[in-house]
Amino acid sequence: MGKVALVTGGTRGIGAAISVGLKKAGYTVASTYAGHVEAATKFSEEHGVSVFRWDVAHPEECAAGIADVEAKLGPVEILVNNAGITRDATLHKMTFDQWSAVIRTNLDSMFTMTRPVIEGMRARNFGRIINISSINGQKGQAGQTNYSAAKAGIIGFTKALAQENAKKGITVNAICPGYIDTDMVRAVPPQILDSIIATIPVGRLGKPEEVADLVTYLASESAAFITGSVLTINGAQYIANG
């Protein structure tokens, strides 16, 4: 069995592509999901990936879930923090519940998922933590103050954690995808989707597999000198400074 890779939100969209990509690369993959039981079951059966159900916003569920994964598969050596939700609204119409739900799932999960595995990684002098942020965490997006704030927070979390653990053989990096060809994006009305694609210089949506390939590289031994980095994958829709 290969190193154990744990992917949150790993049964649909970008997360599913990451799970499949890591499995093809030889890792033993565990994918989490919070809902959509039928989709998760189908994904597991089709790809031979172990799936586990818990809510990444709840620390107790994460601690128990990770303990279950490690008991069944072995210590988690690669963690991909991918799970995320949206509750879009302009701030003057946003409720606190909409704000809090996104912050808890998208940002608090950096702590609830990473805290239970970081000590083991430090003890073994090896770890790969890959956090999925977003183009909207870099440039902001109207109607997504909650989402943009959470995804920007992931970037700060990544840079600080990388510094704390660099001498322990643990790399921590963030990936900021732009608009990726997933069911969620394809659900956007065609005229709006066309207007989005028109702002992407390469003239198309990204592919989930392209994000997965980047994750797989960052998880590998070849990426041992890459840490604290924020990598964009958006077809030049937004070019970050530095």
Q: 167-226, pLDDT tens digit by residue?
A: 999 999 999 999 999 988 888 889 999 999 999 999 999 999 999 999 999 999 999 999
Q: Residue 200, SS3?
A: coil
Domain hosting 152: range is 4-231
Global confidence as pTM: 0.96
Q: Residue 231, SS3?
A: strand
**Which residues lie below 8 Å from residue 150, measured CB to CB, with a gap of 6+?**
84, 102, 103, 106, 107, 137
pLDDT > 70: percent of the chain: 99
Residues shown for the chain: 242
Mean pLDDT of 30-34: 98
> In this structure, is residue 74 part of a structural domain?
yes
> In this structure, is residue 141 part of a structural domain?
yes
- Chain centroid to Cα 136, Å, comes to 14
The pLDDT mean for the chain works out to: 96
- Model confidence band, residue 61 (pLDDT cutoffs 50, 70, 90): very high
In angstroms, rounded to a whole number, what is the distance separating the alpha carbons of residues 130 and 74? 19
> In this structure, is residue 115 part of a structural domain?
yes
- Told to judge if 147 belongs to the known catalytic residues of this protein, a careful annotator would answer yes
- As for how many domains the chain has, the answer is 1
What was the pLDDT predicted at 186?
85
In sign, the C-alpha dihedral spanning 65, 67, 70, 73 is: negative
> In this structure, is residue 59 part of a structural domain?
yes
User: Do 56 and 8 contact (CB within 8 A), yes or no?
Assistant: yes
User: Do 236 and 200 contact (CB within 8 A), yes or no?
Assistant: yes
Question: Of 33, 147, 179, 217, which is the active-site residue?
Answer: 147
User: Do 81 and 114 contact (CB within 8 A), yes or no?
Assistant: yes
Residue 1 predicted with pLDDT over 70: no
> In this structure, is residue 239 part of a structural domain?
no
Mean pLDDT of 83-103: 97
What was the pLDDT predicted at 129?
99
- What tens digit of pLDDT does each residue of 144-162 get? 999 999 999 999 999 999 9
Strand partners, 6: 30, 79
| Residue 109: CATH number of its domain | 3.40.50.720
> In this structure, is residue 242 part of a structural domain?
no
**Residue closest to 132 by CA, chosen among 161, 166, 155:** 155
Q: What one-letter code names the amino acid at 198?
A: A
In angstroms, rounded to a whole number, what is the distance separating the alpha carbons of residues 221 and 240? 26
In angstroms, rounded to a whole number, what is the distance separating the alpha carbons of residues 167 and 50? 32
**Which residues lie below 8 Å from residue 99, measured CB to CB, with a gap of 6+?**
87, 145, 146
